[in-house]
Structure 1
């Protein structure tokens, strides 16, 4: 496996954190609310991506 092909997946957690903080900052003014909303939103997105990943893995394995 090529090291450069795998390295793009290291950007996903960074991108998830940055997008969730920026999205939360557009809706709230206080830092405690921004971080609370960013954590909630980030966990929902991470859960959704994990669910999609498991679904695609199961489809590729059993079909």
Structure 2
């Protein structure tokens, strides 16, 4: 089993914990967690794509 299957769960947990340290209400926690989860996912995807392109063409 690949370690990459655990990445979405880890991403969800980190986003929820970070949002819960900043807000007390569930609607704000979930909104903040969704925002952070999206930003982290885009960042990791960009890094993965960049590394793939570097390894393929260089």
The answer to whether the superposition gives a TM-score over 0.5 is yes
CA distance in 2, matches of 1:26, 1:32: 14
Q: Which has the larger radius of gyration?
A: 1
For structure 1, the residue ranges without an aligned partner over 5 or more in a row are none
Gaps of 5+ in 2: none
The partner residue of 1:42 within 37, 40, 45 is 37
What is the TM-score with the length of structure 2 in the denominator?
A: 0.97
TM norm structure 1 = 0.90
Aligned residues: 58
Instruction: Please give the root-mean-square deviation of Cα atoms over the aligned residues, in Å.
Output: 0.6
